[in-house]
């Protein structure tokens, strides 16, 4: 916020001409930072590809000067090109996408994985550059078992009667996971607990997704199974699947 937004810059606690805290965050990740990049894992026959860092989401290209200065990107089209460039460098057939915000195409209801849950209510608030990169990756022959992201909190702004839908599966079998369970850290009887999303994959297929709470000694306090791979798949009348299309 302090780096990208006009109101955040006005309240920024540090001198931005002397210190770039957004870049400091990126530098802390070192080689593990995959925004507009990729990380190959030969042992798993897997490449992780990152999309646009710090995305606000939605159909408008926001914070133009921030993206121009930080990443040399001026539009959704240029952003897609950078993601695809990382894809073209991927060494492996299986690709996992990680983004700050999710792609378009996952629904426009406030409760959908990246649906807008503030006024004006509803609308697909996904990233179009993310979706186009997924489409291009399939043209390159890549298999995409998982697309993971956050930003859009599970706890909805407009209702406390339900949580946001955090999972979806498209017609290609790709699982989409919104991992934005908040708060991420809670204090219970003086002990901090942290939540993590654990995704298990076997032979290039997602077998299980779980939300776990971990104690200070790294023991698992609780586990909620969000998804288990079906033992068998049947076609049935009225069955539905979702396909992503260019926005």
Omega within 30 of 0 (cis) for the link into 183: yes
The CA distance from 126 to 137, in Å, is 18
The arrangement of secondary structure in 34-184, i.e. its CATH architecture, is 2-Layer Sandwich (3.30)
Give the pLDDT of residue 240. Answer: 45
Give the pLDDT of residue 6. Answer: 67
Give the pLDDT of residue 242. Answer: 53
Q: Please check the confidence at residue 237 and state whether its pLDDT lies above 50.
A: no
Give the pLDDT of residue 230. Answer: 84
- Residues 6 or more apart whose Cβ sits within 8 Å of residue 42: 91, 92
Tokens, residue 191: 């002990």
For 30-39, 72-81, 122-131, which range has the lowest pLDDT when averaged over its residues? 30-39
For 30-34, 73-77, 125-129, 241-245, which range has the lowest pLDDT when averaged over its residues? 241-245
Q: Please check the confidence at residue 205 and state whether its pLDDT lies above 60.
A: yes
Q: Please check the confidence at residue 149 and state whether its pLDDT lies above 80.
A: yes
């Amino acid at each position: 916020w302090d780096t990208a937004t006009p109101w955040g810059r006005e309240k920024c606690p540090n001198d931005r001409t002397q210190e770039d805290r957004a870049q400091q965050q990126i530098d802390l990740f070192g080689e593990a930072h995959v925004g507009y990049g990729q990380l190959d894992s030969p042992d798993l026959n897997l490449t992780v590809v990152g999309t646009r860092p710090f995305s606000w989401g939605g159909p408008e290209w926001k914070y133009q000067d921030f993206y121009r200065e930080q990443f040399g990107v001026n539009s959704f089209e240029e952003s897609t090109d950078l993601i695809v460039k990382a894809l073209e460098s991927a060494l492996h057939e299986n690709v996992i996408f990680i983004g700050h915000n999710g792609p378009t195409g996952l629904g426009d209801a406030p409760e959908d994985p990246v649906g807008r849950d503030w006024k004006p209510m509803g609308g697909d608030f996904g990233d179009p550059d993310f979706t186009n990169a997924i489409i291009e990756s399939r043209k390159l022959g890549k298999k995409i078992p998982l697309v993971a992201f956050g930003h859009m909190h599970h706890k909805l702004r407009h209702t406390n009667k339900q949580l946001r839908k955090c999972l979806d599966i498209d017609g290609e079998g790709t699982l989409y996971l919104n991992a934005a369970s908040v708060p991420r850290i809670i204090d219970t009887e003086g002990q901090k607990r942290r939540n993590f999303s654990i995704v298990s994959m076997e032979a290039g297929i997602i077998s299980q997704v779980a939300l776990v709470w971990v104690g200070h000694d790294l023991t698992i306090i609780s586990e909620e199974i969000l998804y288990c791979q079906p033992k068998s798949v049947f076609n049935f009348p009225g069955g539905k699947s979702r396909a992503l299309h260019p926005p």
